[in-house]
Amino acid sequence: MSPVPAPRRTPWLWIAVTAVILVGGGIMVSIGLVVTHATKSSRAFAGGIHGADRLSEIVLEDNGADDKIAVLSVEGVITGQPLEPGGRTLVELIRDQLERVRHDETVKAVILKVDSPGGEVLPSDEIYRIIWDFLEEEDTPIVVSMGSLAASGGYYVSAPCQWIVANELTMTGSIGVIFHGYNYRGLMDKVGIVPSITKSGRLKDMMSGEKRPEEELPEEHQIMQSMIDETFTRFKKVVHDGRTRAAKLNEGTGRELAADWENIADGRILSGQTALEKGMVDELGNFDTAVQRAMELANIEKANLVTFEAPAGLASLLHLFGEAHSGAALKIDLGLPRVSQLPQGRLYFMSPMHVH
C-alpha cells in the first residue's frame, strides 16, 4: 500500500498567515507608539490643568530657535461633538492647547488657523470666551490666519484675537444666525402617515416638521425670531468688542471697524479685501504673513512652529480598523432633497451655503 501523500500547502495559506502576522505586528507597534507618545507628553508637561498634560508637543517647523509660536487650528464645522471617538471636543482642545501655552514660557505667540464655515452657536461662543479670557490674562498675542473660508462662526472665534490676516480671496463675514428645519407633513400625507401627539401645552410641539403650515401658531415664529435676534445682538457685540480691543492693543497699526460696518452684518459673505476695507481684518496675506506678524507682535526675530496634539488612543485605532472594515456602503438615490447632516433644532452661526 503506497503512503498517503502529504497535503499540499497552497500559496494562499502562506499569504494568509503572513497577512495575520503583519496586521498583528502593526497593531502592537501602533499601541507601542501610543504609549511612548503619551509618556513623552507627560514628561514634557506636568501642569495637570484639565487635559493639557495629555497633549504632546509636535514641531511643525524647526528654525533652530529658543522661542516658539504655537499653531492652533479651527477647521471644518464647529460642533460640540468629540473630534474622535472618546476624545476631546474642539472647545476642549482649544482650551487645553491654550493652557499649554500659559505654562510654556518659550511660547511667545499663537497663530489660530481658521478654515471653517462656522457651526453651532454654543461651541463657537465657548471658544470665543476661552480666547477672550486668555488675552485678558496673558501678554501672548494671538494672530488669526484665515484660510479659504472663515465665515459666520469662523469669524466669531476670530473676532477676539489681536490681529487677523486674511487672503484677499478668503470668504469671511456672514455675520448672522440661522435656524434651519424641514416641514415634511406634505410627504407624510402622501404616504398616509398621520401623527399622534399628546402635549402639555399649546407650544410644546413648536416648529414641528409634522404640522401643516396652517396649523403653525403665530407665536412660534415670533418666539424663534426673538431668540435669533437676541443671539444676533450677541454676535455683533462680539465683533465690536473684539475689534475695539484689538485696535487698542495694536495702537493704530491695525484696522479699526468702519463706522458703517453693521450695514454688512446681514449674513452676506465678504471677500478678504472687503473685510479689510470694513476693518474686520487687519492685513491681507497668507500663513507666512501671519507668522511674520506674530513674531513682530511678540518682539522676536525667529521661532520654531509647534502645535499640541492628543496622542492617538487605542479607541481611535480600533475605530480606524472598524471604519476600514465597514467602509463599503450601499447608497440609494430616491430623488428626494438632500437632508442636512447637521443636527436640526439648533441655532447656528453658519455660512448659508453650508447649512444644507
What is d(CA 74, CA 95) in angstroms, rounded to the nearest whole number? 12
Contact predicate 151/261, CB 8 Å: no
- For the chain, the first-to-last Cα distance in angstroms comes to 77
Does residue 2 have an active-site annotation?
A: no
Which of the residues 40, 199, 204, 302 is marked catalytic? Answer: 204
Listed in sequence order, the residues at least 6 apart from 192 whose beta carbon sits closer than 8 Å to its beta carbon are none
What is d(CA 148, CA 157) in angstroms, rounded to the nearest whole number? 16
What is d(CA 309, CA 89) in angstroms, rounded to the nearest whole number? 13
Listed in sequence order, the residues at least 6 apart from 118 whose beta carbon sits closer than 8 Å to its beta carbon are 77, 78, 124, 151, 152, 153, 154, 155, 156, 174, 348, 349, 350, 351, 354
Does residue 152 have an active-site annotation?
A: yes
Give percent helix, percent strand, percent coil of the chain, each to the nearest 5. 40, 20, 40
Q: How many other CB atoms are found less than 10 A from the CB of residue 20?
A: 10
Phi, psi of 222 (to 5 degrees): -65, -45
Helix (H, G, I), strand (E, B) or coil at 89: strand
* Burial state string for 339-349 with b = 16 or more CB within 10 A and e = fewer than 16: eeebeeebbbb
Which of the residues 41, 116, 145, 152 is marked catalytic? Answer: 152
Residues with a known catalytic role:
152, 204
